[in-house]
Amino acid sequence: MSVPVTTNVPAKATAPPLRHETTAGNYFVSNYPPFGFWNPEFVPDFQAALERPPAQPGTRNSELETPLTHHASRITPLGLYAHIPFCRKRCHFCYFKVYTDKDSSEVRGYLDALLAELTVYASKPVIGGRKPRFIYFGGGTPSYLSPDQLRFLTDGMKRLLPWDEVEEVTFEAEPGTLTDHKLQAIRDLGVTRLSLGIEHFDDHILEINGRAHRSKEIARAYAYAREIGFPQINIDLIAGMVEETEDKWRETVAKAVEMRPDSVTIYQMEVPFNTGIYQQMKAGGKLVAPVADWETKRAWVDYAYREFEKVGYTVTSGTTVVRDPAKVKFVYREGLFSGADILSVGVASFGHLNGVHYQNHHEFQPYLDAVNAGKLPVYRALRPAADELYLREFMLGLKLGSVSAAHYTQKFGTDPRVQFATPLATLKAWGFLTDSGDRIGVTREGLLQIDRLLHEFFKPEHKTGRYA
Q: Is 94 a residue that touches ligand SF4 (CB under 6 A)?
A: yes
CB of 96 vs ligand SF4, minimal distance in Å: 5
For residues 468 and 13, what is the distance between their CA atoms, to the nearest angstrom? 18
Q: How far apart are CA 22 and CA 178, in angstroms?
A: 33
User: Dihedrals φ, ψ of 190, to 5°?
Assistant: 110, 10
Among 75, 91, 238, 450, binds ligand SF4 (CB under 6 A): 91
Q: 157: which residues sit within 8 A by CB, 6+ positions away?
A: 80, 82, 115, 118, 135, 163
* Strand order across the beta sheet in which 193-199 lies: 314-315, 320-322, 263-268, 232-239, 193-199, 168-173, 134-139, 78-84, 341-345, 350-353, 356-360, 378-382
How many positions of this chain bind ligand SF4 (CB under 6 A)? 11
Binding range to ligand SF4, per CB under 6 A, among 75-83, 90-98, 306-314, 422-430: 90-98
Q: How far is the CB of 448 from ligand SF4 (least distance, A)?
A: 22
Is 346 a residue that touches ligand SF4 (CB under 6 A)? no
Q: Is 400 in the site for ligand SF4 (CB under 6 A)?
A: no
CB-wise, 87 or 389, nearer to ligand SF4?
87
| Cα gap 149→146, rounded to integer Å | 5
Three-class DSSP category at 341? strand
| 103 neighbors 92 (Cβ within 8 angstroms) | no
Given the complex with ligand SF4, which of 91 and 391 has the nearer CB atom?
A: 91
Would you count residue 237 as binding ligand SF4 (CB under 6 A)? no
CA dihedral sign, ordered 241, 281, 364, 379: negative
SS3 of residue 314 by DSSP: strand
CB atoms within 10 A of CB 50: 19
Interface mask toward ligand SF4 for 3-42; x: CB under 6 A: ----------------------------------------
Nearest to 291 by CA among 301, 278, 310, 302: 278
How far apart, in Å, are the Cα atoms of 433 and each of 14, 202, 396? 13, 37, 15
User: C-beta of 174: minimal distance to ligand SF4 in Å?
Assistant: 5
Query: In this chain, which of 65, 117, 167, 174 binds ligand SF4, going by CB under 6 A?
Result: 174
For ligand SF4, give the closer residue by CB, 141 or 359: 141
Q: How many Å apart are CA 256 and CA 374, to the nearest integer?
A: 46
Q: Is 236 in the site for ligand SF4 (CB under 6 A)?
A: no
Each residue 116-145 as x (binds ligand SF4 by CB under 6 A) or -, in order, gives -----------------------xxx----
d(CA 137, CA 139): 7
What separation in angstroms does the CA of 212 have from each of 127, 143, 200, 203, 205?
39, 13, 12, 10, 11
One character per residue 140-169, x = contact with ligand SF4 (rule: CB under 6 A)? xx----------------------------
Residue 381 near ligand SF4 by CB under 6 A:
no
The reply to whether 389 sits near ligand SF4 by the rule CB under 6 A is no
- Per CB under 6 A, 269 contacts ligand SF4: no
Interatomic CA distance for residues 42 and 468, integer angstroms = 31
- With CB atoms as reference, the residue minimizing the distance to ligand SF4 is 94
**Nearest to ligand SF4 of 211, 417 (CB atom):** 211
CB of 179 to ligand SF4, least distance (A): 17
Q: Does 87 bind ligand SF4 (CB under 6 A)?
A: yes
CB of 207 to ligand SF4, least distance (A): 13
Note whether 90 binds ligand SF4 by CB under 6 A: yes
234 binds ligand SF4 (CB under 6 A): no
Binding site for ligand SF4 (CB under 6 A): 87, 90-91, 94, 96, 98, 139-141, 174, 197
